[in-house]
Chains A and B, each alone.
Chain A
């Protein structure tokens, strides 16, 4: 069964960090449309600083823990705790699993999603990162249930994350700063959903490449 080991897989997280840093300006511009325009800068700061402390030969779980620590200790805002707790929960799940096969990967993402649901009060449909994350993970699980292989399921995850992000364009924000804009928040994608889609697509691509 296709799987990757936790040992020496920190490069996966470095790929994610590089992708976030590369999209710094883009994420800020998206955020600037209905938020305060600092999403890209803060995300790049957190992921970039964490990447400096991670070596490609590290364990993926310890890399996630490093990232979580930086996000929680230095970044603040709402993304610090949300992504910080998400990566901490994913690291816990990964350590318990000792390796990533298709089921383990799904469980890891599930743990991350639950951590976000616990700390934030958002629900699917509120125009947040959950709108990229939750449907993508459901589609991933469904693909596996249909007997699809790991690589195919990873592709499904990436596609659905992007589709989820794009659906936020037509949503009205119900939580976070943009919520105060009501109808005016319609018509642009949510910055959190955009960064979440970036994280999920890069994770999926980077894991698939290592299978």
Chain B
């Protein structure tokens, strides 16, 4: 380059840069497009210096890097739509953009979104229309194994290029997928004709694929005269004239919805062949791609009706949808999601800490609990079965003996294998499961109660948390109204959570496991309700737990750590819900941590205590190796005190999602507790045969 001097020597900047090397370097880099090495040569200095100049220039505001206003606008509007309608995703492209038509650009954006979503083995349905055909055509060629593309509806007139068949085959061709067509017209001349069609084995088999669809790409049609719906011959002019669909504002897969997104029924209902609105809404991933002035009302209706999980549209349409929903798109607070700045109701303004997302094995975070339960049911069919099809209310398959006291346990999800791992012979009869770290609601507990009741009453055991107490108490009232007697024992083993004088206000943690075992054994021995309750109380009174966290847990919804811990800090006295502990301590060696825990535990042991069961429990993220390191020191301390360990559990028993940490529980034994503890039990998390 001619500008480059033969010898590198420090040079003065040209006068127009006002003796400012930062400005000069910035100019050469951002305006003239030189590399940092070339600038170093030009300015007669080193490359690292240029690098530092450029960084300084940004820090001092000489260079401002801006996201193009239209792009920023798209992001802001997309976020507002996601928030308002609770969508998983919203992708908004600029309304203006080069020579391609809006439909082509929406199709390309839709294809990009779809490409990121499709997985091997998926069954994807696509509707028809201009945008859908553009999407199918814009799909980058790929080969996704075992992909099936299903036509979402029957066929339409062939006078248009964007028929259901065309959209389906084009998409399948691009992706190397198998096509399942629907070999029937979308609208039949009569209900009887439809019945006949659907009873044809070929068509019945094609239609059966619609129930297996797990992704759907769909557009919306307005009801204007030029709409796809009209030109495709989907509309029955007679029905329209009669005003049968007067309330409809749009159509999805040939079905009509009103402004609130509710189905509008009419004479076409039993003449239409294709995916129903109910089927559409139950598809797991639902991508709506639509834009343009006539699509505003139908998109709003589709969003209100919950038909879309993700929306691809353009800025003009997105803003109009927001406006129609009563939100001023010109007044969106950017970044308000993080709680910074003034909230709409004058919410406090402190900026909350920036936190990083934690990697997790998730599909949609909102499905995590149900998917985990489905997996557990597949893994342990001998131990667990849904009660009346309810995934969150599980019982032992086959029920239990007449006259046995029923044991119902439960609590929030996120503690796996608690609580469901402790259902089985010699343990609980049924378990009610809530959302993550949130108690199950009363109805569900009542369902469990009825399933567990064998005429001798039902015992509830759960950890002492405000929410669980409220929900189980309400369930107990409902059960009483149905003539089922219940008793309740709340576990209070966590000694860090309150002093010994307030034992009843302590929270229940890993000690749960021992209390479930003792109560389960008492119930299995066919003892009466009052005696089962008494023994459960006795077991709870004999349990003492202390937990320590080295790293916080993170819930699937936010994937952010629940609290922050410095590299050299630990939380002493944590519970099992991701809340901070009672004290923050400097990190220490394992033995010292066990010693501190033992000091706390031993302080509450009676001097006569000579026999214990121990549980060294992972809070989720701590591996077996470290648990055994803790168990070693615990054994040394117990031996030194002359206490015999009669049963030892080490592993994941009552966790707090991915919290790195452990808890130690001691249950002080007498003959009676020791005997009950040694009774057989068979839950998937605890199987025991008497010695």
Inter-chain CA distance A201–B578, complex, in Å, is 31
Chain B residues with CB under 8 Å of A75's CB are: 435, 438, 441
**Interface core residue of B84, B338, B347, B563 (most chain A CB under 10 Å):** B347
Query: What 0/1 pattern do residues 176 to 189 of A give for CB contact below 8 A with B?
Result: 11111110100001
Interchain Cβ contacts within 8 Å, total number: 145
Give the interface segment out of B162-170, B200-208, B463-471.
B463-471
Q: Let me know if A181 and B435 touch, CB within 8 A.
A: no
- Is A164 an interface residue when CB atoms closer than 8 A count as contact? no
- Is B344 an interface residue when CB atoms closer than 8 A count as contact? yes
Name B582's contact: one of A37, A78, A182, A194 (CB within 8 Å). A182
Give the interface segment out of A27-35, A134-142, A143-151.
A27-35
Q: Let me know if A36 and B579 touch, CB within 8 A.
A: yes
Known: A29-B339, A72-B441, A75-B438. A22 touches B347 (CB 8 A): no
Give the interface segment out of B101-109, B114-122, B381-389, B554-562.
B554-562
Min CB–CB distance B622 → chain A (angstroms): 19
- Is B421 an interface residue when CB atoms closer than 8 A count as contact? no
Query: What 0/1 pattern do residues 12 to 48 of A give for CB contact below 8 A with B?
Result: 0000001101111110111011111110011011001
Min CB–CB distance A131 → chain B (angstroms): 14
- Is B337 an interface residue when CB atoms closer than 8 A count as contact? yes
Name A22's contact: one of B344, B352, B465, B563 (CB within 8 Å). B344
Chain B residues with CB under 8 Å of A74's CB are: 441
Known: A38-B555, A72-B441, A76-B434. A52 touches B306 (CB 8 A): yes
Residue of A nearest to B554 (CB): A37
Q: Let me know if A38 and B435 touch, CB within 8 A.
A: yes
Interface residues of A in 156-192 (CB under 8 A from B): 158, 162, 166, 169, 175-182, 184, 189
Q: Let me know if A34 and B580 touch, CB within 8 A.
A: yes
Q: Let me know if B467 and A81 touch, CB within 8 A.
A: yes
**Interface core residue of A48, A74, A76 (most chain B CB under 10 Å):** A76
Min CB–CB distance A146 → chain B (angstroms): 24
Inter-chain CA distance A110–B557, complex, in Å, is 35
- Is A82 an interface residue when CB atoms closer than 8 A count as contact? yes
Known: A78-B467, A80-B467, A176-B466. A181 touches B579 (CB 8 A): yes
Inter-chain CA distance A158–B344, complex, in Å, is 13
Q: Let me know if B438 and A77 touch, CB within 8 A.
A: yes
Min CB–CB distance B390 → chain A (angstroms): 12
Chain A residues with CB under 8 Å of B505's CB are: 179
Q: Let me know if A76 and B348 touch, CB within 8 A.
A: no
Name A81's contact: one of B347, B436, B474 (CB within 8 Å). B474
Min CB–CB distance A204 → chain B (angstroms): 10
Name B434's contact: one of A35, A77, A184, A189 (CB within 8 Å). A77
Q: Let me know if B438 and A26 touch, CB within 8 A.
A: no
Inter-chain CA distance A36–B346, complex, in Å, is 24
Query: What 0/1 pattern do residues 106 to 149 of A give for CB contact below 8 A with B?
Result: 00000000000001100000000000000000000000000000
> Can you list 20 A-B contacts (CB < 8 A)?
A19-B344, A22-B344, A25-B338, A32-B558, A34-B579, A37-B555, A45-B366, A72-B442, A74-B441, A75-B441, A76-B440, A78-B439, A81-B467, A81-B474, A119-B470, A176-B466, A179-B505, A180-B575, A181-B579, A181-B580
Supply 18 further A-B pairs (C-beta < 8 A) apart from A37-B562, A120-B470.
A22-B83, A26-B339, A33-B563, A36-B555, A36-B578, A37-B560, A75-B441, A76-B435, A76-B440, A77-B437, A78-B439, A78-B467, A80-B439, A81-B470, A166-B348, A177-B575, A178-B579, A179-B505
